[in-house]
Structure 1
């Protein structure tokens, strides 16, 4: 009897082993390694502090760790660490807590990479905050950590107000009154400096310089005729740390070409059977758009504009003149700026 029971148990064990063995053969494809679907790490995590707290932004990853394209992200994990300034240790590990999950989505919209965003107002004065983010395509396929951003939270300085911008030739001058208070209305306790930010589309702003102590800045890295947008952020120095403060409203300006071309040279006037022809040397300035011809009759004090030609011409035929009149001509050049800059007039000449 015992022998039969032993044989039955042996058969049962063999059947279970066979079941487990052949169950593995039911896998239709090879297991997917995490690297083939895990997104690449976020490398452009940024923060911006305003009256409402802190705003984190980053670009959606659109490739896997292996470099394959991906069209969507399942979710983002936002990690935060909070350290009291009195216990801050520069060499200690950053004590990140459990992450906050936020929704992902398509990596691009209308052919443009999407930007992720996370806002929070849960901030305490005299604490330093650290943030990093991971992108996930599933619970087991997460990216590596993003770059870490950090800041110290204290009641920020108020934003600069009454920003003004004066545009001139190849430069834009910004100015603003000094900031003297915090966002809660109290007097600022530390030194205030300023960060100037610029954008060419009114959306993505980049800092132009290191923090400034002055309440003004001249931007000479501009192109005439192109529109530029500016914001100014106040910075408070508190306990040897710089606290990002309020940001001003956006102001825009367009630098204008205000430099006139050189006046034409080699002016000559010759009488013909139909009137008087005025000649000048062809210009070499590519910015010249055309020429204006002025005429002054004997006895008059002011010359009047009698004609305008494009820059491809260096001749003007004045047919509206009496054959025996004593007359004097001068010529100016004007450029392509809007409004155009006009040169001084050439010396007057009289027809031969």
Structure 2
């Protein structure tokens, strides 16, 4: 009997001389974009989508050469026909057959359109005569590798150009301990969005929820000790107004941190345990004080970093303890007190 291992080797060797049919080359097609979105910024249409990073086979896309933006001004008949069953496929056919290349992002233009893991494309909407209804505009994108291999067309977004919303006026800012309070004159029938940047050359970022319904916003995320720039827009149905005049807002670190809470004094034989919940501000330290009766305060700790402290040598009698939170700029919170009795 031939051992199993030997039989396996013989079987492999028997097949070595046979030639299998050649496999077709693997065609690595860029992944299809499925998250194309659109909104209107003043008189511009803005498209956003994820930067293509993979092929359809799941491999890393290392040779992206360009991204094409396609546009089609749809006629009423095309819009109506593509709204029924199978409308998605019909839109794809119409875009491939009648769409026009609006832009090819490559080289420096592709780099300029890249923001982190996403791509952004802007184009100015044409002017339409007063009293006319602008046509719907369809957009799609597709990617190409350096060898020219294209992806399939992305999902198609439809945009009906809207009138530009009114720009808010009367924009003001007031630094406070809890953040920067922003207010502006209301624009009837519109919601709002607030944008912020950390320098004159930094990109604008949305800092408020999109579509806030009151003409005010508290930016509680602004860090103290630096200057911030703000502007506000009115907003409705994914259309934003032109930005308001921007405000430069110095935000000095002159505000005390929040005081500690739940401060407890727990006396035991010959010592007193102190315990508290921390101030919510990051990086604070604590000052700890003690006095006997109505006497003067003794400084027990000046830069304590924990939230539990043991007084190992308390005097006998009625004692009062205090804790202050101190931030990195030296601002001190209001003291918080607790009492304990020690000794016989």
TM-score range, shorter-chain basis? 0.5 to 0.7
Query: Highest CA radius of gyration, 1 or 2?
Result: 1
**Residue 244 of structure 1 pairs with residue 240 of structure 2:** yes
Is there any run of 5+ residues in structure 2 with no aligned partner, and where? 1-21
| 1:176 aligned residue (184, 192, 197) | 184
**Residue 333 of structure 1 pairs with residue 314 of structure 2:** no
Q: Spell out the pairing of 1:1-352 with structure 2 (5 A cutoff).
A: 32-34=25-27, 36=28, 38-51=29-42, 53-83=44-74, 89=80, 91=83, 94=91, 96=95, 97-105=99-107, 115-125=118-128, 126-127=133-134, 128-137=136-145, 141-161=149-169, 162=171, 164=173, 174-179=182-187, 191-195=189-193, 205=205, 209=209, 211-217=211-217, 232-236=232-236, 243-248=239-244, 249=246, 258-266=258-266, 279-283=271-275, 285=277, 289-295=285-291, 303-308=296-301, 310=304, 311=306, 313-315=309-311, 329-335=319-325, 339=331, 341-347=333-339
Equivalent residues of 1:175, 1:215 under 8 A apart? yes
Q: Residues 152 and 233 from structure 1, CA distance in 2 versus in 1: closer, same or farther, beyond 3 angstroms?
A: farther
Equivalent residues of 1:57, 1:115 under 8 A apart? yes
Q: Residues 269 and 232 from structure 1, CA distance in 2 versus in 1: closer, same or farther, beyond 3 angstroms?
A: farther
How far does residue 137 in structure 1 lie from its aligned partner after superposition? 1.3
How far does residue 65 in structure 1 lie from its aligned partner after superposition? 0.9
Q: Which has the larger displacement, 62-71 or 281-290?
A: 281-290
* Residue aligned with 2:149, SS: coil
Q: Residues 207 and 289 from structure 1, CA distance in 2 versus in 1: closer, same or farther, beyond 3 angstroms?
A: closer
1:2-59 deviations in whole A, cap 9, x for unaligned?
A: xxxxxxxxxxxxxxxxxxxxxxxxxxx976454x2x2112234344543462333433
Q: What is the number of equivalent residue pairs in this alignment?
A: 286
Q: Residues 223 and 264 from structure 1, CA distance in 2 versus in 1: closer, same or farther, beyond 3 angstroms?
A: farther
**In structure 2, how many angstroms separate the alpha carbons of the residues matched to 1:82 and 1:256?**
58
Q: Residues 132 and 317 from structure 1, CA distance in 2 versus in 1: closer, same or farther, beyond 3 angstroms?
A: same
**In structure 2, how many angstroms separate the alpha carbons of the residues matched to 1:134 and 1:86?**
25
Equivalent residues of 2:207, 2:219 under 8 A apart? no
- Give the corresponding residue for 1:20: none
Q: Residues 157 and 334 from structure 1, CA distance in 2 versus in 1: closer, same or farther, beyond 3 angstroms?
A: same
1:90-138 deviations in whole A, cap 9, x for unaligned?
A: 71754542223413359999xx956434322142344233221000115
**In structure 1, how many angstroms separate the alpha carbons of the residues matched to 2:337 and 2:287?**
10
CA RMSD of aligned residues (A): 5.1
How far does residue 211 in structure 1 lie from its aligned partner after superposition? 2.7
Equivalent residues of 1:197, 1:231 under 8 A apart? yes
TM-score normalised by L of structure 2: 0.60
Equivalent residues of 1:291, 1:334 under 8 A apart? yes
**In structure 2, how many angstroms separate the alpha carbons of the residues matched to 1:291 and 1:332?**
8
* Residue aligned with 2:242, SS: strand
